[in-house]
């Protein structure tokens, strides 16, 4: 009996620790009358009350006056009692009087004899989501009002057969029909007899459906029979499953104003490109963690196998090749995330000659075998202070543009020279610069295109073939680095892109010199008790294997909760924790460890590149994917400072 009681007490203590550790949910109990019987830290954080302030008080004090007057608290308990559960959302009141929107679940607690003992209540603060929904609803309402209030454009929708389903004021003003006169009729009523006989209305819908968009200009008819010259855009509208819902149709009377239509199209194209890049940013940010985890497992596992494999000539080359492929994936991931991060430039001293040679393989793979790359650099070139990754991305953008300008193949020449500018040599400040040059033999640009080439979202590649941000990104990088981008081009005579960057120092870097950053001697952390925490089993196994090879005694935990349990029973010298984990993140785990074990060092492992503020920014960090060498260096650095 004593052992059973001890086991039961241990279970209750663990359950209480779990409830007290939850801060994102208010979890507490009510007695059968609705009086508060327990209070967890999440409830204290959401509602602002200390436990002593609410125990014994009726839970209706959290409701608004109108909800109390309408009997909502009593209704919630009655429904939970009769139906076995109550779930809903609504406004609640904190101690300081402010309101928050929450999701509430109430479950009755019954005794074995079906006597009502009380209620379990879980509350989640959804204020941010509610505000976002209200903002979206307001935005949609504003958009509908905007469309309805537009009078210079006829904006309306067609069903899949071409029948008009709605009508705005602009359509009424331009075409003369009231909504009740035109909704439900086929849109071919606006076409001339000749166009209808030639099948122009249906051909427009078919073209839009086949090509994704139909745009044309021609004569259209008003209700009174008069004609006007219209610019027409028709686009298919599909559901999330790809089913055709209908068509969006925009008509502009350009008889008097062609220029206004051009401005509309420019704004519309900019919006499309902006949405595309925003979606790309969200996508790359969303996949970053999983992609880095996969690379971590692959690269780490391969390197461990390589070290444990004898020099078998049939196996070792394959392993080395696989490792190089994984490392190339790491490089690709970093370049993909460069735009999504939008961080300040990480400037360092860069030898442009070595940088270009180092990315030669990437350039060749990016522009294909039909383009030849020629490099011409001086024997020595002064270094520049720039973000090396961003310079690589800029060169890649320029090379891809050059490839697109040479559909039949050709030569891209990359060169550099030093130049000293005086006070009157142009927009750049006086000083010494390195000019990095990329020349192609492509179709070139006319004066109008050249003038607009660096404008954001401007592209000549057509819809879906270019973002219109490549040159504008290079232009912004050059300006932020204290230089500028200069473009020179003539129609049919190729394009030259000059990236001017200020010289960083007086030292000369020879292209034949290999600059190797100093690497401190690795200190194998033998005999350390290391707790590795990661919710991904692949990464956890790889990390554990690396630590084991370093001579550490490894404890593995698949969650922050499991890690805290291990810390209560085992002596740990160092914690290595992943950042992105469910329930409790690595930063949150580190904060709990700091409060309970102030002297225990923690290394934060992350596959993201986001900036961290506050105490989290002070934590030692190890970026995924890492190898055993980086892991050993990080451990040695942390333990040397303990």
C-alpha–C-alpha distance, residues 101 and 502, integer Å: 53
The answer to whether the beta carbons of residues 547 and 527 sit under 8 Å apart is: no
- In this model, does residue 166 exceed pLDDT 80? yes
C-alpha–C-alpha distance, residues 439 and 371, integer Å: 12
pLDDT value, residue 516? 37
| One domain, residues 286 and 353 | no
- In this model, does residue 235 exceed pLDDT 80? yes
- In this model, does residue 220 exceed pLDDT 70? yes
| One domain, residues 336 and 353 | no
- In this model, does residue 345 exceed pLDDT 60? no
| One domain, residues 374 and 477 | yes
pLDDT value, residue 479? 75
pLDDT value, residue 598? 92
- In this model, does residue 517 exceed pLDDT 70? no
C-alpha–C-alpha distance, residues 281 and 287, integer Å: 10
What is residue 162's DSSP assignment?
S
pLDDT value, residue 574? 94
| One domain, residues 106 and 155 | no
> How close are the terminal C-alpha atoms of the chain, in Å?
46
- In this model, does residue 612 exceed pLDDT 80? no
Q: Is residue 32 part of a domain?
A: yes
| One domain, residues 364 and 405 | yes
Portion of the chain with pLDDT greater than 70, in percent: 76
Among 237, 236, 200, which Cα is nearest to 216's? 200
| One domain, residues 356 and 498 | yes
User: Which is more confidently placed, 136 or 537?
Assistant: 537
What are the tokens at 371? 């383009």
Q: Which of 34-43, 316-325, 472-481 bottoms out in mean pLDDT, i.e. has the lowest?
A: 472-481
| One domain, residues 354 and 502 | yes
| One domain, residues 374 and 300 | no
Q: Is residue 517 part of a domain?
A: no
The CATH number given to whatever domain includes residue 85 is 3.30.450.20
Q: Is residue 132 part of a domain?
A: no
Three-state DSSP at 295 gives helix
- In this model, does residue 7 exceed pLDDT 70? no
The CATH number given to whatever domain includes residue 396 is 3.30.565.10
Burial 439-477 (b: 16+ CB within 10 A, else e): bbbbbbbeeeebeebbebbbbeeeeeebbbbbbbbbbbb
Q: Is residue 442 part of a domain?
A: yes
Q: Is residue 138 part of a domain?
A: no
Q: Which of 249-258, 400-409, 507-516 is modeled with the greatest confidence? A: 400-409
Among 235, 246, 249, which Cα is nearest to 175's? 249
C-alpha–C-alpha distance, residues 195 and 189, integer Å: 10
C-alpha–C-alpha distance, residues 299 and 276, integer Å: 32
Choose the final residue of a domain: 126, 161, 189: 126
pLDDT value, residue 444? 87
Compute the average pLDDT of residues 497-505.
85
> Chain-wide mean pLDDT for the chain?
80
Choose the final residue of a domain: 256, 283, 313: 256
- In this model, does residue 320 exceed pLDDT 90? no
- In this model, does residue 274 exceed pLDDT 70? no
pLDDT band at residue 448 using 50, 70 and 90 as cut-offs: confident
User: Which is more confidently placed, 441 or 472?
Assistant: 441
| One domain, residues 111 and 167 | no
Choose the final residue of a domain: 341, 373, 401: 341
Q: Which of 1-5, 124-128, 214-218, 380-384 bottoms out in mean pLDDT, i.e. has the lowest?
A: 1-5
Q: What share of the chain is helix, strand, coil (3-state, %, to 5)?
A: 45, 25, 30
Q: Is residue 519 part of a domain?
A: no
Compute the average pLDDT of residues 60-64.
91
Query: Total structural domains in the chain?
Result: 5
Residues 6+ apart with CB under 8 A from 203: none
C-alpha–C-alpha distance, residues 219 and 75, integer Å: 64
- In this model, does residue 321 exceed pLDDT 50? yes
Residue with tokens 């949609």: 140
Three-state DSSP at 285 gives helix
- In this model, does residue 147 exceed pLDDT 80? no
Q: Which of 476-485, 499-508, 624-633 bottoms out in mean pLDDT, i.e. has the lowest?
A: 499-508
Count of CB atoms situated within 10 Å of the CB of 509: 20
pLDDT value, residue 348? 82
| One domain, residues 195 and 279 | no
Count of CB atoms situated within 10 Å of the CB of 256: 8
pLDDT value, residue 283? 58
Among 14, 90, 469, which Cα is nearest to 280's? 469
- In this model, does residue 539 exceed pLDDT 90? no
pLDDT band at residue 343 using 50, 70 and 90 as cut-offs: very low
Handedness of CA 31, 37, 42, 43 (dihedral sign): positive
- In this model, does residue 467 exceed pLDDT 50? no
Cα atoms in the Cβ-side hemisphere of radius 13 Å centred on 207: 13
Q: Is residue 134 part of a domain?
A: no
pLDDT band at residue 614 using 50, 70 and 90 as cut-offs: low
Compute the average pLDDT of residues 324-346.
57
pLDDT band at residue 338 using 50, 70 and 90 as cut-offs: very low
pLDDT digits (tens, 9 = 90+) for 549-580: 899 999 999 999 999 999 999 999 999 999 88
pLDDT value, residue 189? 94
Question: Which range marks the domain in which residue 291 is found?
Answer: 270-341
User: Which is more confidently placed, 466 or 512?
Assistant: 466
Q: Which of 106-115, 202-211, 270-279, 538-547 bottoms out in mean pLDDT, i.e. has the lowest?
A: 270-279
| One domain, residues 114 and 222 | no
Q: Is residue 261 part of a domain?
A: no
What are the tokens at 491? 């129609």
| One domain, residues 357 and 481 | yes
Q: What DSSP letter does each residue of 44-61 carry, written as one string?
A: HHHH---HHHHTTSBGGG
| Residues in the chain, total | 642
pLDDT digits (tens, 9 = 90+) for 450-465: 776 666 555 665 544 4
pLDDT band at residue 519 using 50, 70 and 90 as cut-offs: very low
């Amino acid at each position: 009996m004593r052992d059973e009681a001890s086991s039961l007490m241990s279970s209750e203590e663990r359950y209480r620790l779990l409830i007290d550790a939850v801060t994102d949910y208010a979890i507490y109990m009510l007695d059968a009358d609705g009086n508060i019987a327990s209070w967890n830290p999440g409830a204290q954080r959401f509602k602002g009350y200390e436990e002593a302030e609410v125990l014994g008080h009726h839970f209706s004090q959290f409701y608004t006056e109108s909800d109390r007057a309408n009997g909502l608290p009593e209704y919630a308990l009655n429904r939970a009692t009769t139906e076995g559960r109550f779930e809903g959302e609504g406004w609640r009141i904190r101690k300081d009087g402010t309101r928050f929107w929450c999701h509430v679940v109430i479950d009755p607690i019954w005794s074995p004899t079906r006597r009502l003992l009380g209620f379990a209540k879980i509350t989640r603060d959804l204020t941010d989501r509610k505000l976002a929904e209200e903002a979206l609803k307001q935005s949609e309402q504003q958009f509908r009002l905007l469309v309805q209030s537009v009078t210079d454009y006829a904006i309306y929708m067609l069903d899949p057969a071409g029948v008009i389903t709605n009508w705005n004021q602009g359509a009424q003003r331009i075409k003369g029909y009231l909504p009740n006169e035109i909704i439900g009729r086929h849109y071919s009523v606006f076409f001339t007899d000749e166009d209808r006989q030639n099948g122009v209305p249906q051909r427009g819908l078919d073209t839009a459906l086949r090509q994704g968009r139909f745009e044309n200009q021609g004569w259209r008819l008003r209700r009174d029979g008069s004609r006007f010259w219209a610019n027409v855009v028709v686009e298919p509208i599909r559901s999330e499953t790809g089913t055709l819902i209908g068509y969006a149709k925009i008509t502009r009377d350009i008889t008097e104003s062609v220029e206004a239509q051009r401005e509309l199209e420019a704004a519309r194209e900019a919006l499309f490109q902006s949405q595309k890049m925003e979606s790309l940013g969200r996508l790359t940010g969303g996949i970053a963690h999983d992609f880095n985890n996969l690379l971590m497992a692959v690269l780490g596992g391969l390197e461990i196998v390589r070290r444990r494999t004898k020099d078998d000539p049939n196996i070792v080359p394959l392993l080395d090749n696989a490792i190089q492929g994984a490392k190339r994936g790491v490089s690709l991931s970093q370049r993909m995330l460069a735009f999504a991060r939008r961080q300040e430039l990480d400037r360092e001293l860069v030898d442009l000659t070595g940088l270009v040679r180092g990315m030669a393989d990437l350039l060749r793979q990016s522009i294909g075998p039909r383009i030849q790359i020629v490099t011409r650099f001086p024997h020595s070139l002064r270094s520049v202070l720039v973000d090396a990754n961003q310079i690589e991305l800029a060169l890649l953008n320029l090379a891809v543009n050059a490839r697109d300008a040479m559909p039949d193949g050709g030569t891209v020449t990359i060169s550099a020279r030093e130049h000293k500018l005086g006070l009157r040599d142009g927009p750049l400040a006086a000083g010494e610069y390195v000019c990095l040059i990329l020349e192609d033999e492509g179709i070139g640009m006319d004066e109008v295109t050249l003038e607009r080439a660096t404008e954001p979202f401007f592209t000549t590649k057509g819809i879906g073939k270019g973002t219109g941000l490549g040159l504008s990104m290079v232009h912004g990088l050059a300006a932020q680095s204290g230089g500028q981008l200069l473009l020179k081009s003539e129609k049919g005579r190729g394009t030259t892109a000059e990236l001017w960057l200020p010289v960083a120092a007086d030292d000369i870097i020879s292209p034949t010199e290999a600059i190797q950053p100093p690497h401190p001697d690795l200190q194998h952390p033998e005999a350390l008790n290391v707790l590795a925490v990661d919710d991904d089993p692949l990464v956890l196994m790889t990390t554990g294997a690396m630590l084991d090879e370093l001579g550490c005694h490894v404890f593995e935990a698949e969650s922050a909760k499991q890690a805290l349990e291990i810390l209560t029973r085992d002596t740990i010298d160092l914690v290595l924790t992943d950042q992105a984990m469910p329930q409790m993140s690595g930063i949150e785990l580190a904060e709990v460890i700091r409060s309970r074990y102030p002297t225990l060092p923690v290394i934060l492992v992350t596959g993201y590149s986001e900036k961290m503020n506050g105490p989290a920014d002070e934590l030692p960090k190890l970026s995924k994917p890492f190898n055993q060498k980086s892991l050993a260096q990080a451990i040695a650095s942390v333990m040397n400072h303990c």
